[in-house]
Amino acid sequence: MKIKDQFRFILQNMKKNKIRVFMTVLATAMGCAFLIVLASVAFGLHDSIVSDMLENRTINEIEVVGSEEGQGITDQDIAKFEELEGVRAVTRQKFVQQDAVYSIDGFEANAPTVAAHFPSEIASGVELAEGRLPEAPNEVVVGHHFIPSLTPAEGNPDEFYNEEGLIKEELQFDGDVIGQTFTMEIAKTDGDQETTQEFDVKIVGVMKAPGREWEWDQYVYITDDLLGELEAFTGTPGAALMDPSTFEDVSAEEVPYDQVTVIASDLESVKNVSEQLEDQQYMSYSIVNEMEQMNTLFTIAKAGLIFIGTIAILIASIGIYNTMTMAVTERAPDIGIMKAIGASPKVIKRIFLLESSYIGLIGAAIGIAAAYVISILVNFGLPLILEAAFNEEMPAGLQFSSIPPLLIVIAVVICLLVTILSGLRPAKRATEIDVLKAMRREI
């Protein structure tokens, strides 16, 4: 008997008991929708947290804090890192240990300054909003928010800001900074005396805005050569505003970096590079470490919720079992006739199993559609309700419910398995029907 004919049979049989079949499909659909919606909460929150983490950091970055003996990272260590398999670049930065004052045409700003190794920054994929990276020692790149932080050099600072805490529009620096030469003022202490010196720096590039709205990048990125000049002036490592006599005389190569980041060539290499660093006794941290723990936690949560949802489908399966048992009883004479004229037990079993699977599949399809509608309503409505109830704004991008294709596949597989299992016993009963008793209507 062809599958097409078996389906025709099933549809004919289902039409005979439309209401009963409809109620069974409805129960299955409700069970399936319950499973999907329940698990979608775990999927939604997981997605929200992961995207939040990814927005904050780049996924293939491994931050190296230092050696396990407490030593900082120097050029010697960086040379080793660059040799590791799966490493694309190693960025390293030394912070200027004082806020330099930058000024131009009656505007000034106190900005944190950092000496970056630009070739590795380029290799790591640093992007500029405009301009280029420094090529000469006195060339610098500024953070996206450096220009908005410039204020008039004269006047009362309390009057510079509007109600939102931003510099009033008429007092903002208005002009292109690319190619402009700023004066950088650095201080040093010499015993009790504090003296300053001005260095000319030329802005050649502006960084792209940070991924998050609330992030503020006011940094000025200088070259190693300029940092050397600053250190020569202050006589302290990192141009710290401290008494030079308190520092030991060390060469620039021996001064550890303040921040070292190893960039893996791809996501798959992050774990491998982390393990290599660990083997070489370095303390490192990557988002993958954090995500692994979080993923484990969420996998357990998802599995738990799917299990609870499955119970709903199991309850629905009682309905399917009941429907199929009644169908077998009602159709016993027909089954007897079919067997008498040559239907094999295998065909009879397949027809009933197909019928229960079909009910499960229709239920799953309706359940999936319902779950999507509920998911959309939850994502749209719940933040409004929570905001109204608690008078608190929900974090941007927070997703309460997410239905990935994997969840649909899981729900359909569970639904099908449960419905096939619940149809097995009635189907087996159908094959065991005695032809003679069935034809005599004794069943």
Partner 1 sequence: MIDINQLSHHFTLGKKGDLTSLSVLENISFHVRAGEIVTIVGRSGSGKSTLLNLISGFIRPTQGEIIIQDQKVSEFDESEFAAFRLQHMGFIFQNFQLIPSMTAFQNIELPLILKGISEQARKKMTIEMLKKVGLENFSGHYPSELSGGQQQRVSIARALVLEPPLILADEPTGSLDSETEEDLLRFIQELNKEMGITFLIITHDDEVAGIGHRTITLADGKMVESGVFS
Distances (CA, A) of 94 to 80, 91, 163, 216, 240: 19, 10, 36, 19, 11
The 3 state secondary structure assigned to 358-387 is HHHHHHHHHHHHHHHHHHHHHHHHHHHHHH
- The Cα 116–Cα 114 span in angstroms is 6
For partner 1, which residue of 109, 339, 378, 430 counts as binding (CB under 8 A)? 339
- The Cα 107–Cα 155 span in angstroms is 11
| Least spacing, CB of residue 362 vs partner 1, in Å | 21
- The Cα 62–Cα 262 span in angstroms is 5
For partner 1, which residue of 346, 369, 376, 394 counts as binding (CB under 8 A)? 346
Pick between residue 1 and residue 443 the one whose CB is nearest to partner 1: 1
Interface region with partner 1, contact rule CB under 8 A, candidates 154-162, 317-325, 334-342, 408-416? 334-342
Interface region with partner 1, contact rule CB under 8 A, candidates 23-31, 295-303, 343-351, 403-411? 343-351
| Least spacing, CB of residue 437 vs partner 1, in Å | 10
- Residues ≥6 apart with Cβ < 8 Å to 369: none
Residue among 290, 395, 286, 390 nearest 45 (CA): 395
Interface region with partner 1, contact rule CB under 8 A, candidates 88-96, 98-106, 251-259, 340-348? 340-348
**Per-residue DSSP letter, 244:** G
For partner 1, which residue of 5, 85, 176, 268 counts as binding (CB under 8 A)? 5
| Least spacing, CB of residue 22 vs partner 1, in Å | 19
- The Cα 198–Cα 101 span in angstroms is 9
For partner 1, which residue of 137, 148, 256, 345 counts as binding (CB under 8 A)? 345
Asked if 367 and 31 count as a contact pair (C-beta separation under 8 A), the reply is yes
Distances (CA, A) of 56 to 27, 51, 93, 154, 158: 44, 9, 19, 37, 32
Q: Give, as ranges, the residues between 262 and 281 that touch partner 1 (CB under 8 A).
A: none
Total residues contacting partner 1 by CB under 8 A comes to: 21
For partner 1, which residue of 1, 187, 283, 294 counts as binding (CB under 8 A)? 1
Pick between residue 122 and residue 343 the one whose CB is nearest to partner 1: 343
* Binding track over 16-45 against partner 1, x by CB under 8 A: x-----------------------------
Query: Measured in whole angstroms, how far is the alpha carbon of residue 120 from the centre of its chain?
Result: 26
| Least spacing, CB of residue 300 vs partner 1, in Å | 47
* Binding track over 80-119 against partner 1, x by CB under 8 A: ----------------------------------------
Q: Rule CB under 8 A: is residue 334 a binding residue for partner 1?
A: yes
Q: Rule CB under 8 A: is residue 329 a binding residue for partner 1?
A: no
CA angle 113, 119, 122 (to 5 degrees): 90
Pick between residue 338 and residue 412 the one whose CB is nearest to partner 1: 338
Q: Rule CB under 8 A: is residue 342 a binding residue for partner 1?
A: yes
- The Cα 365–Cα 241 span in angstroms is 69
Pick between residue 329 and residue 344 the one whose CB is nearest to partner 1: 344
229-236 contacts at long range (C-beta below 8 A, 24 or more positions apart): 229/137, 229/199, 230/96, 230/186, 230/199, 233/186, 233/188, 233/197, 234/186, 234/187, 234/188, 235/188, 236/97, 236/188
Pick between residue 16 and residue 212 the one whose CB is nearest to partner 1: 16
Q: Rule CB under 8 A: is residue 76 a binding residue for partner 1?
A: no
| Least spacing, CB of residue 361 vs partner 1, in Å | 23
Question: 184 in helix, strand or coil?
Answer: strand
- The Cα 140–Cα 112 span in angstroms is 13
Which tokens in the block code for residue 212? 């998050």
Q: Give, as ranges, the residues between 406 and 435 that touch partner 1 (CB under 8 A).
A: 435
For partner 1, which residue of 12, 156, 246, 251 counts as binding (CB under 8 A)? 12
For partner 1, which residue of 128, 178, 347, 361 counts as binding (CB under 8 A)? 347
Contact residues for partner 1 (CB under 8 A)?
A: 1-2, 4-5, 12, 16, 334, 337-347, 435-436, 439
